[in-house]
Amino acid sequence: GENVEQHPSTLSVQEGDSAVIKCTYSDSASNYFPWYKQELGKRPQLIIDIRSNVGEKKDQRIAVTLNKTAKHFSLHITETQPEDSAVYFCATRVERGTASKLTFGTGTRLQVTL
Amino acid sequence: DTAVSQTPKYLVTQMGNDKSIKCEQNLGHDTMYWYKQDSKKFLKIMFSYNNKELIINETVPNRFSPKSPDKAHLNLHINSLELGDSAVYFCASSQLPQRVAYEQYFGPGTRLTVT
């Protein structure tokens, strides 16, 4: 089955700095790559996603890059703010027949300090 | 106007008991899921239902039995609860068809504590 590795597991940055989280995956059939943000005690929420036919996508301060050949994708957050502090999960989607499954990475705890 | 709702939010029970968690979505989605998030925050899929039909069953013990009475509801019943079942259980839903990027909407989670 799909294996998604995520690094780092924890990341501490100063407010205003950039943060980068990286994921690698194993299944070349993966065709969709979302990123979820989970604040303490809350539900995971989608913040950005990218399809397999796109190399980069940006939405204000967040961007995602995808390298399908190398099977890795990254989340970039610029000008970090304290409200960016949360756990971030990458995920990949693989379709097998009628089944479509998201496999999540192990999460990165981002702490933005003042 | 909660999109995906779960009840209860907290559940504390003793080993050996049987309990159920309920999930409802009002988004008109075709597919619903159960995820388990353990103490290390690992988020792992357990089941997926598409229009009341079981699509994915990720090697979950038989003590866990999902039931989908209609496509807006997916309940999870757990028999003979064990300490290792303690976790946060998230319900989620998404739209199909396939081959289109889609978002999974998560419920607020049910924190299950087995003592």
* A107/B contact by beta carbon, under 8 A: yes
A43 to chain B: nearest residue by CA?
Answer: B108
**B3 CB within 8 Å of a chain A CB:** no
Going by pLDDT thresholds of 50, 70 and 90, the confidence category of residue A100 is confident
Of B31, B42, B101, the CB nearest to A106: B42
Query: E strands, chain B, where?
Result: 4-7, 10-13, 19-25, 31-37, 43-50, 53-57, 64-70, 73-78, 87-94, 105-106, 110-114
In a 3-state reduction of DSSP, which class is residue B5?
strand
Choose between A114 and A38: higher pLDDT. Answer: A38
B43 contacts A107? CB cut-off 8 A: yes
Tell me: the pLDDT tens digits for A2-17?
899 999 999 999 999 9
Do A51 and A64 touch, CB atoms closer than 8 A?
A: no
B56 with A99: Cβ contact below 8 A: yes
Note the Cα A15 to chain centre separation in Å.
Answer: 20
Average pLDDT over residues A43-51: 95
Total residues belonging to chain A: 114
Q: Cβ of A53 under 8 Å from any chain B Cβ? A: no
Residue whose structure tokens are 């504590």 = B113
In DSSP terms, which residues pair with B45 in a beta bridge?
A: B35
